[in-house]
Amino acid sequence: MIREVNSLDLLYLVAAGRWTLALTAMAFVGGGILGLAIMMLRIAPLKPVNWLAVGWIQAIQGTPLLAQIFVFFFGFAIFGYKVSPWVAAGVAFSIYASAFLAEIWRGCVEAVPRQQWEASAALGLSFPQQLRYVVLPQALRVAIPPTVGFLVQLIKNTSLASTIGFIELTREGQITTGATFRPLTVYGIVAVLYFLICFPLSQWSQHLERRLNVAR
Amino acid sequence: MSLVRLEDVTKRFGQLTVLDQVSLKVEPGEIIAVIGRSGSGKSTLLRCINGLEPIQGGRILVEDDVVNDPKTDLRKLRQKVGIVFQSYNLFPHLSVERNITLAPTVVKKMPPAEARKLAEEALARVGLSDKIDAYPDQLSGGQQQRVAIARSLAMQPKVMLFDEITSALDPELIGEVLKVLEALARQGMTMLLVTHEMGFARNVGTRVVFMHHGKVWEQGPPAQVLGNPQTPEMKSFLGSVLH
Ligand SMILES: Nc1ncnc2c1ncn2[C@@H]1O[C@H](COP(=O)(O)OP(=O)(O)OP(=O)(O)O)[C@@H](O)[C@H]1O
Ligand SMILES: [Mg+2]
């Protein structure tokens, strides 16, 4: 029953890595759009809307990601909707990312001096115009490093999607282990593959951070 | 009709009363120098006029618009009231041209070509025609402040508020900014300016307003107020700035 880990296994693992990347991309794009909207609600000059955003952020940051994934996968099933692991994971990770990105980006927006808001308000710009033309372009500069940092976390966290049968890198590792009974070798390879995805991103993020510090 | 009218305006920050029943009328073409000690409420006065700070009592009017009426469209009102700050507050990520054309194109929906012409004209008025493509961090403090004035002028306001716009500048750069203000005064711009430049207040101002403890303590023609102060507070203030 026990066999060596062969090159075909490796190929399958690498192939499964694509789904790790696909889920990450989905969560990042979905969470980015949603997170931008929530960040704006969070800072908009309207209290009830702020509370709504705070509630969203707190609820998501205060519960385990695994629980969120289960809610979407099993929760929908209870109401008679059968959702695929793809949909459940995509939605759960997007929502998870939205809360964290909203908070990261709010910090970046608040790093823009208050006087920039005042100067643009005094010229008659509306809140959305202030954001779009004055504040967000300046916040973007500081936003890149922490955003990439979160992306790296996100990639590693997609491994939790394996619990609902979403076949990505970690799940493929479990399957390969089941076939070979060589967990150490297989998870070693899995770890290396994660590292190969995340390391360049971390490096890039640090590079951007250094460049920003020099530009100051 | 007065261009700007303050009626018994009271402004508080928490328990602290910063403007205490201030009444003031600004007629078209007037150049009012607001003077007073640090903390007397000069900046707050200006910031209330264009609605950057809400007030707790009284009324502020710019022409017919009541600034502190929640129904007033503050964005419309601010097109009539330009303000320039001590710290310039240019948009660092935008070129000089874009700093100036942003509000005309975005707020007034002016076509880009027309806005560019406007920027050229505004820069000519502050003597910086050659800097249209520069970025704020490539300019000296005096030049940045002149761009900030041009940016405000490009919205064609009816009244301009200046809050100690030379205070952050090196002494040798103050003159170039004051020259721009003098030119504006000659062209008939209505101005309300907080300043520590007593010479400027005397020579260019049509009225001097002395603020003390959040009140308009003394006001009148510059020669009279500065030359013959009526209150001990004004006397001691003048003593401290002139020596
Ligand atoms: N946002 C704020 N929150 C609380 N207090 C404030 C705020 N802004 C101003 N103050 C207080 O209001 C008072 C008046 O401030 P203001 O800036 O109008 O004074 P000023 O006459 O312009 O002084 P300076 O010459 O130093 O600029 C000060 O005591 C100041 O501490
Ligand atoms: Mg002040």
Q: Provide the CATH number for the domain formed by A7-212 in this structure.
A: 1.10.3720.10
Using the Cα atoms of residue B153, residue B157, residue B137 and residue B114 in order, give the sign of their dihedral: negative
Cβ B20 vs Cβ B10: under 8 Å: yes
Per-residue confidence band for A134, with pLDDT thresholds at 50, 70 and 90: very high
The domains of chain B, with CATH numbers, are 4-89+159-241 (3.40.50.300)
- Is the CB of A138 less than 8 angstroms away from the CB of B85? no
- Torsion (CA) B29, B30, B34, B35 in degrees, nearest 10: 120
**CB of residue B41 inside a 6 A radius of ligand 1:** yes
- Is the CB of B78 less than 8 angstroms away from the CB of A119? no
What number does the ligand 1 atom closest to the CA of B45 have? 18
Computed over every residue of chain A, the mean pLDDT equals: 92
* Amino acid A216: pLDDT: 45
* DSSP helix/strand/coil, B118: helix
Per-residue confidence band for B10, with pLDDT thresholds at 50, 70 and 90: very high
Computed over every residue of chain B, the mean pLDDT equals: 94
Give the closest of B78, B93, B152 to A138, CB-based.
B93
Contacts of B153 (CB under 8 A, 6+ apart): B82, B122, B125, B126, B160, B184
Distance CA A30, CA B109 (A): 32
pLDDT in tens, A157-214: 999 999 998 999 999 999 999 999 999 999 999 999 999 999 999 898 888 878 776 6
pLDDT in tens, B178-235: 999 999 999 999 999 999 989 999 999 999 999 999 999 999 999 999 999 999 999 9
* Amino acid A206: pLDDT: 84
Interface of A with B in 135-174 (CB under 8 A): 137-138, 141
Q: What is the pLDDT averaged over residues B127-156?
A: 95
Helix, strand and coil content of chain B, in percent to the nearest 5, comes to: 40, 25, 35
Tell me how far CA of residue B203 lies from CA of A141, B34, B243, in angstroms.
46, 14, 19
- Is the CB of A119 less than 8 angstroms away from the CB of B89? yes
* DSSP annotation of B94: S
Cβ A66 vs Cβ A162: under 8 Å: no
* Amino acid A214: pLDDT: 62
Domain spans in chain A, listed from the N-terminal domain onward: 7-212
The length of chain A in residues reads 216
pLDDT in tens, A42-99: 999 999 999 999 999 999 999 999 999 999 899 888 888 888 899 999 999 999 999 9
What number does the ligand 1 atom closest to the CA of B194 have? 22
